[in-house]
Structure 1
């Protein structure tokens, strides 16, 4: 087990109070938050999604799930591009996000739960981690030719580091033509669901060595002083306004992504003219937003509805 994963596991089981927005109504819960090991032990969906490659690398694929046509009609369905977290590290993959993907599909959405190259994978890091996420989203152009997904209703959801990538994905069309990450005609993202999302790379990078925070410099190849353009092109706070609705769901006791930073991002997004809101889950930590859970399920349903309003 890598030191990054060991520290991540230790952090996920701890409690740390975070300042932020006023909590919204949520089910009462125990003071103990959901740990990574508890999430990891939860059963996977009985039925896997359809695995579809979007490139030659072994890490370039996604799982497509479509709603039950008997319950939700024949489509085309709104589609949620789902981007897992894990500090941008290869230690963590898309599998834990399949639980939420299956649940979202039960709500009448198609889901495209993507994998991508991460730190520790051949080619992971700058710029391929970002390019893979963009390429995976653009793969829906091809998927829509054979499967009933509505390209006019494409949204993105991401957990933790995946939340940063989902917010970045929504801003991709604003990249300058000479950016390494720019692509012609990127698929339009209509809204973002951020789940314990990392929203400011410049501030988040400051933290203990061998922590999730320390992955930022590795991801972007240096500090903000060394790589100012990379931070400007990828940090959600620096990309505002995104121009799309954003709903961020956050555990009040999250020790990995403090609520105060997410609240600061939402405040800045609103000032910039974005329709952004924060839902704080009292008594919840980092992982409740990433899985259907008594602490998060109602909030997740409301967030999906709000994105499409």
Structure 2
């Protein structure tokens, strides 16, 4: 496989790694968005094992880096970066003669939040960060995603990571929370698969449960997929949890 870095902006964190398989056998392009509670000490190396695994199985993968809290990220910078990083696929597809019509967003933890947010960009009103996407998302695969920001804030997860990321609580700036919170954007026009383990001690399974319940109640296509293991098993290609992700991805192209 081939792995090449491409930039979508001047900041050191505004780039991604494009993994091209030796032989492309699937039409889905997998955008991988790493987690780490949106903090700068975590980077796209967390997504590299998944990218290598999927590329070895014939998928094109785009392992995306972005500005996080502590290195210029937060609202709206992180959202602008994820949007711009995904939209760069339109240019890369044309330059490299790659079909990028079927783009699946895969994200772990905070990256699951960003993947679900990206899946709803087409419905964002003008002027909101991420609106008017150049590249659409066809499905979202959330790995232990922070899909309910209000509940995560109420629980004070990871030393109030949500407030650290957004710079406010849900009642301080309801507008910001509305457009940042996947649960408040549910349902999406595309299917969402929320993979989560009951044994996850970093992101409670209730956050995925809340999201799926809200999306389904509103008529959306959302599925809770319970997996074994812990918070990091779900990004380990050798785990049983990751095999369940592969199984769903195969149905998406």
TM-score bracket relative to the smaller structure: over 0.9
Residue 294 of structure 1: CA displacement? 2.8
- Structure (1 or 2) with the larger CA radius of gyration: 1
Match of 2:233 among 284, 288, 297: 288
User: RMSD across aligned C-alpha pairs, in angstroms?
Assistant: 1.7
Contact 1:166/1:192 (<8 A) preserved = yes
Question: RCO (CA 8 Å, sep 6+): is it higher in 1 or 2?
Answer: 1
| CA displacement, residues 24-63 of structure 1 (integer Å, 9 cap, x when unaligned) | xxxxxxxxxxxxxxxxxxxxxxx77211111100100000
| CA displacement, residues 88-111 of structure 1 (integer Å, 9 cap, x when unaligned) | 000100002100111111222100
Q: Which residue of 2 aligns with 1:50?
A: 4
Residue 306 of structure 1: CA displacement? 3.5
TM-score under structure 2 length normalisation: 0.94
1:307 and 2:246 correspond: no
Distance 1:307 1:78, change over 3 A: closer
Matched pairs, number: 253
Q: Which residue of 2 aligns with 1:41?
A: none
Counterpart secondary structure, 1:152: coil
Counterpart secondary structure, 1:212: helix
Q: How does 1:237-276 map to 2 (within 5 A)?
A: 237-276=183-222
Counterpart secondary structure, 1:90: coil
TM-score under structure 1 length normalisation: 0.78
Counterpart secondary structure, 2:212: helix
After TM superposition, where is structure 1 displaced by more than 6 Å over at least 4 residues in a row? none
| CA displacement, residues 261-285 of structure 1 (integer Å, 9 cap, x when unaligned) | 2122112211222221121123x11
Moved more, 169-178 or 230-239: 169-178
Match of 1:194 among 142, 145, 148: 142
| CA displacement, residues 195-229 of structure 1 (integer Å, 9 cap, x when unaligned) | 01110111101235xx5251211221211111101
Contact 2:2/2:22 (<8 A) preserved = no
Greater helix fraction, Structure 1 or Structure 2 = 2
Counterpart secondary structure, 1:194: strand
Q: Which residue of 1 aligns with 2:52?
A: 102
1:91 and 2:41 correspond: yes
Counterpart secondary structure, 2:96: coil
Alpha-carbon distance in 1 for matches of 2:153, 2:223: 24
Counterpart secondary structure, 1:52: strand
